[in-house]
Amino acid sequence: MKQWNIVITGFGRVGWHVAELIGKRRERYLQRYQADVRIVGVCGSKKGLYHQAGLPGEQLAALTAASGGLQASPEASEAHTGTAFLQGSGADVVIEAGPTDFVTGGPAYEYITTALRCSMHVISISKGALVFDYPGLKRLAEEHQVMLKISGATAAALPTIDLAEYNLAGCEVSRFVGIFTGTTNFILSKMYQDNVPFEEAVAEAKRRGIAEPDPRFDLEGWDTACKLVILANALFDAGLRLEQIEREGITGITVEQMLQWREQNLVPKLTGEICRTAHGICASVKPRLYPAEHSFAQVNGATKAVMVETDVMGELLVIGGKSDPRAAAAAACKDLEHILMMHKTP
């Protein structure tokens, strides 16, 4: 039986849920993969905790984003943040769950590159570093013969990257289109169904905890665009940059437009689309109108969906997947299971 040491960088809501789920699944990992999985370190923005035998589950459970930060205890020593934290951790897998910085990659980029150079597998929930330089990170993972897994960064609980890489292996994907952001889908559904203005729909999304306090990243189409960049580069080797994506958000949509579309039996959805053309890969994010009988038109609330067109398996549609921190954490834990599965000892 192999001991697998896990370090979580970025210990906000998502990171906490990752720790929670791993703790609950330890027995499953033992039985299914003969893997003794232990969280040996967690690292926030100002402080880290480390214990080589594994951090006590009750201590991790007591830590929340609102707990005032990570605190040392007799069972866990305080550690510095930054790349030195990783280098001395003895981690087998690093789960990156920090904030997204798609301009520079942010601290996540340093954590991921350090982990890969130290021959640690990486699971990234944070999108920023992947948007900044996924091709470079993928090459680094290959050079050091480790895995770079990204399910949590590409629509979380909605399977996108795994759908293409595993279920459609061997196919040529010609088109990849989806409702990738639950926040915008909730707002458009609310406006369309309840005839309410944009501002009221946004306020309702905030009240329900679906939208962030500052939801511009979602509303202006950046969240969907970031996911498209990652998917295009991971699945199509497109070498695509964020600034190359045609992007239009939903902030300009009015009640009057909604009334007109309803009369025409058309339903608006903010979708991201990647197409393979004779001139290469093109990608765009914008509100698109779908006939009421179209599958996308029937995807309401914070639900997401993806449609894939292939050469030999035809068209596939997947609908669902929660849009919350626990769902993102669950996607990361799915990636962990894939790593354990690939390295299971006979």
Tell me: is residue 38 an annotated ligand-binding position: no
Is residue 13 annotated as involved in ligand binding?
yes
Please report how many Cα atoms fall inside a 13 Å half-sphere around the Cα of residue 345, on the Cβ side. 8
Contact 151, 162 (CB under 8 A): yes
Spatial strand order of the sheet with 93-96 comes to 77-79, 48-50, 35-43, 2-9, 93-96, 121-124, 148-149
Which residue shows structure tokens 């665009």? Answer: 225
Degrees (nearest 5) of the Cα angle 34, 325, 130? Answer: 80
Residue 127 assigned to a binding site: yes
Structure tokens at 139: 């090459």
Q: Which of 149, 227, 269, 304 is catalytic?
A: 227
> 334 an active-site residue?
no
Written as six digits, the tokens of 107 are 């601290």
Distance CA 42, CA 147 (A): 20
14 is in an annotated binding site: yes
The annotation status of 117 as a binding-site residue, yes or no, is: no
10 assigned binding-site residue = yes
Both structure tokens of 74: 């007799």
**Would you list which residues are annotated within the binding site for NADPH?**
127
Residue positions annotated with a catalytic role? 227
**Would you list which residues are annotated within the binding site for NADP(+)?**
10-15
**Would you list which residues are annotated within the binding site?**
10-15, 127, 212
**Would you list which residues are annotated within the binding site for L-homoserine?**
212
